[in-house]
Structure 1
Amino acid sequence: MDAEEVEVVVAHSQRATLRVGDVFLKVDGDPAHAAVEVRAMSMAPVPTPTIRWHEPPVLAIAAVHGRELGRLGEPSSASPEAWRATGATVRRLHDAPLPPWPGRGLDDVVRELDAECTWLLAHDVLPTEVIRRNREIAEAALRPWRPVFVHGDLQPCHVFVDGDEVTGVIDWSEAAPGDAMFDLAVLTLGHEERLDDLLAGYGPDADRDVIRAWWSLRSLVASRWLIEHGFDPGAPGCELDVLRSRMRD
């Protein structure tokens, strides 16, 4: 039998993901991440990968068929119908019973935002006015919310579609009770033109102003982690571009 090739999907100081044939091996330095992922996938009323086995620190899951809904920094080739189907899928998740473990509260978000803005300013990552303006826009997200079951890192590359059907949602380690608008914002970060399609499937009660505020907030708080772990938030269409674009709002 021929040996399967091993593909390194992602690797940094916190975790690594390898693909061997049709199985992904996720190796995480914090076993709590995989534990949350396993529990969240068992509870979520949406398509999720099949768990092959779990022996900390390794979680083995089956590949999901289909293709990514999109990827930050690249135009999404998925159809409007696929985005609408994604909105309906996210709504099912948000309407589900809450997971029993705690999520981040408003005070946690405010502290993180203030700390990350201070770091961005101290390291001259962006002009002061860009950071100041985005911190101002982010205020609209800093309000009490009714917790729902959120994925917590619902990037379009974590949603797989086949034609107009959602076939799977991956990477559940950040799942928790949280703000529904955060999930919708992460999905459309850098894909603003897809927001109407997403919300057509999600339903009428989404707050567009709060989603736009989360675009700024997410980009502000994620940039340092990306830089320190070898990613480039300054690539075209990515987080720093999103922050610059908010100056036109």
Structure 2
Amino acid sequence: MTYLGEGWDSRAELVDGWVERRPRRPEAVPQLLRESVVMPWLAPQLPLPVPVPVVISEEPLAVRHELVPGDELTTFNAAQGRQLGEFLRALHAVPIAQAEQRGVGRMTLPVQRFRDEVRVPGGEALLARIDGLPADTLVHGDLGPEHVLGSDGVLTGVIDFGDLHVGDAAIDLAWALNSTPPEFADALAETYGVTGELRERVLIWHQLGPWHEVLYGNDIGDPQVAAEGLQGVRDRLRIGVSPG
């Protein structure tokens, strides 16, 4: 058994050549169960390898899937940007009715908690912009460098579909267009077909990202996590791009 890592929702270990994941908190149990239903259907429709988990234990819950090759992205190039653009075009073209039949729901933002727990200048104006954003696309929901894998200058897979939901396509472009080098971001935007209106929504989701970190820090009783999230909120509201 080899420890692979853990995120907000699950812990992963390599067991007998398989990735074994277990929920870290009760809220993550339905997510893992939903992945075991949705991913066997979704995976063949995508141009990059993704996890296809199978439940091996219901109490306590554990799932296993083949190891998706590659490592977290630390270097970026145009070829990777084009690959991710193609991946997102395929994902966002999946019929949402079929996804909903398999248990995929729609995002519900904790807006009142944002108002109560994240009090910063300009925050209310950002929250007001959330109203009216579309929710008509199947999205990964948590796309970042730790979930996009690569090797030898190409992408090799995308992991962690626990936040898969029907929402705004712009959420999947937030990190990719605002926190990556221009060579990568420009190639992705061209391949995907990013419009000016879509970029405006992308920025909203990019600015909103650290708000979740504040709430997570509060939920687990970790003031440092909450403080780092709050600094991210301030930085992104001030300059509209990732602080680094």
Q: Which residue of 2 aligns with 1:66?
A: 70
Residue identity in the other structure for 2:191: G
Residue identity in the other structure for 1:32: P
Structure 1 residue 52, shift from structure 2 partner = 5.9
* Residues 189 and 36 (structure 1), Cα distance of their counterparts in 2 relative to 1, 3 Å cut: farther
TM-score normalised by length of structure 1? 0.75
Note the alpha carbon deviations across 1:83-103, whole angstroms, 9 max, x for none. 221121011000011112353
Q: Which runs of 5+ in 1 are unaligned?
A: 70-75, 122-127
* Residues 120 and 245 (structure 1), Cα distance of their counterparts in 2 relative to 1, 3 Å cut: closer
1:35 to 20, 33, 36: 33
Is the partner of 1:60 in helix, strand or coil?
Answer: strand
CA contact (8 A) 1:18 1:26 kept: yes
1:232 to 225, 236, 239: 225
* Residues 156 and 188 (structure 1), Cα distance of their counterparts in 2 relative to 1, 3 Å cut: farther
TM-score normalised by length of structure 2? 0.76
Q: Which residue of 2 aligns with 1:25?
A: 20
Residue identity in the other structure for 1:232: V
Structure 1 residue 26, shift from structure 2 partner = 0.9
1:48 to 28, 47, 50: 50
Give the 5 Å matches for 1:126-205.
Answer: 128-129=120-121, 133-188=122-177, 190-191=179-180, 193=182, 194-205=184-195
Structure 1 residue 246, shift from structure 2 partner = 2.7
Q: How far apart in 2 are the matches of 1:192 and 1:103?
A: 33
CA contact (8 A) 1:103 1:177 kept: yes
Is the partner of 1:25 in helix, strand or coil?
Answer: strand
2:232 to 223, 230, 241: 241
Higher-RCO chain (CA-CA 8 Å, sequence separation at least 6)? 1
* Residues 219 and 48 (structure 1), Cα distance of their counterparts in 2 relative to 1, 3 Å cut: same
* Residues 204 and 11 (structure 1), Cα distance of their counterparts in 2 relative to 1, 3 Å cut: closer
Q: Which residue of 2 aligns with 1:10?
A: 6
Percentage of identical aligned residues: 20
Structure 1 residue 163, shift from structure 2 partner = 3.8
Q: Which runs of 5+ in 2 are unaligned?
A: none
Structure 1 residue 220, shift from structure 2 partner = 1.6
RMSD: 2.9
Q: When the two structures are aligned, how many residues end up with a matched partner? A: 223
